[in-house]
Amino acid sequence: MSGWVAVAGLGPGTDDLVTPEVRAALAQATDIVGYIPYVARVAPRAGLALHPSDNRVELDRARFALDLAAEGKRVVVVSSGDPGVFAMASALFEALEGREDAPEIRILPGITAMLAASARIGAPLGHDFCAINLSDNLKPWALIEKRLRLAAEADFAMAFYNPRSKARPEGFARVLEILREACGPDRLICFARAVSTPDEAVRTVTLAEARPEMADMRTVVILGNSATRRVGPWVYTPRSVP
């Protein structure tokens, strides 16, 4: 039987937000490959080999998945949220470049953190927006600052992934400074932590009130655009620009 690789998004946390397509792939799999906490979300069963690995080894992990598929295994590489958003799908294609053997590959979408968070908040991404990964593991910090300034100038709402890491605790404080300077103190900013898990906590403040400690690695941060406003407990961005 010929092997395959599916790169699957497990959604933001709860099983309710795992798609039936991803469930079916997990049920057919012989091997699960991924970052330790994501592999832990897959129920063990007879005939299923679990291969959890540490975070910063994405390319090795992708090569390993391709090797297993070449041996005839049915491999699911798991990501949280969506596998195409700051996750394993790109790593798999990077590992595929230059290889002679290409197994069947499928990318199975999942609900990414910013969309799960946005639904809890109201509709902060109802108009044009962008998503920025604030980790500088894979790109220079100067590029992050440049993108922040240009996105603010274009009046995009923004979703920030990986807002704060232990390796760079001062980075997010700097981000808030830049945003205050570019967007003013009254702009709304939403902190959505561990959405759809028992630890979920979501709150919205102004940029003047925002503190770096309001975010950690389990938080996705959503900044409104200049028209984003509150209605009752909700925060939304109007669809039109007058």
- Where do contacts with ligand SAH occur on this chain (CB under 6 A)? 12-13, 79-82, 85-87, 112-113, 117, 161-163, 192-197, 217-220
The SS3 call for residue 170 is coil
With vertex at residue 126, the alpha carbon angle to CA 121 and CA 127, rounded to the nearest 5 degrees, is: 140
The SS3 call for residue 88 is helix
Closest separation in Å from C-beta 160 to ligand SAH: 7
Q: Are 75 and 1 in contact (CB under 8 A)?
A: no
DSSP string, 184-205: -TT-EEEEEESTTSTT-EEEEE
Report the candidate in 92, 94, 116 with the shortest Cα–Cα distance to residue 218: 116
In the complex with ligand SAH, the residue whose CB is nearer, 86 or 156, is 86
Closest separation in Å from C-beta 13 to ligand SAH: 5
Q: Rg of the chain's alpha carbons, rounded to an integer?
A: 19
In the complex with ligand SAH, the residue whose CB is nearer, 73 or 190, is 190
In the complex with ligand SAH, the residue whose CB is nearer, 162 or 225, is 162
In the complex with ligand SAH, the residue whose CB is nearer, 86 or 129, is 86
